[in-house]
A and B are shown apart, each in its own frame.
Chain A
Amino acid sequence: DVKVTQSSRYLVKRTGEKVFLECVQDMDHENMFWYRQDPGLGLRLIYFSYDVKMKEKGDIPEGYSVSREKKERFSLILESASTNQTSMYLCASSFRGFNEQYFGPGTRLTVT
């Protein structure tokens, strides 16, 4: 079974803190994705990566950056957390091509 894990299920941070969200997949997938999920807005793509050290902006990249130094790991970074970044963050991975994405359990981040 494909496994996508995220470093924390719940996280509380203060405004201005630097926040790291980690995602690890064990299926040798080329693609990895970070989404944010908000009520009434569905899932919105923040960033994705189709290879090690490669990244592309999604629909809402402002205020976020990413890092992919190893194939199995994709990190989302909030350089200076703000209250409007309070949300559920979902990581996903897939093989290259027109394939389904496998999702992690999500990290519910609260910024106070």
Chain B
Amino acid sequence: AQTVTQSQPEMSVQEAETVTLSCTYDTSESNYYLFWYKQPPSRQMILVIRQEAYKQQNATENRFSVNFQKAAKSFSLKISDSQLGDTAMYFCAFMSPKINTGANSKLTFGKGITLSVRP
């Protein structure tokens, strides 16, 4: 079974600075997908960024980028120029495609990290 580990429960960063959230996972599969989701206080969870394991290039979405190290099974999220609106809980998630079953969209989540951006 796949596991996702987010070892830091909380982090804090000064506005406009850069912060990196770490995530490691364990799998024996070679093809899979990784996601970072953001859950702002009292608001809906939304997708931040997605990475396909077969792609060597790290995904980027505006101020958000990932450092995907497949051999190390590491998938960290870097937030540049942190903004107050980045204050949220962030979840790392793993998806293992299982072809020919109905389970091909299941996500396994880490425990999450609470990020606070200080003004």
Contact = CB atoms under 8 A, between A and B. Distances in A.
Contacts, number: 60
Contact of A42 (B33, B50, B91, B105): B91
Interface stretch (B41-49, B57-65, B73-81): B41-49
Interface residues of B, number: 24
Interface residues of A, number: 30
Given A90-B45, A98-B95, A105-B44, A40 B105 contact: no
Interface in A18-53: 31, 33, 35, 40-45, 48, 50-51
Interface of B: 6, 9, 33, 35, 37, 43-47, 50, 91, 95, 97, 102-107, 109-112
Interface of A: 4, 31, 33, 35, 40-45, 48, 50-51, 54, 56, 58, 90, 92, 94-101, 103-106
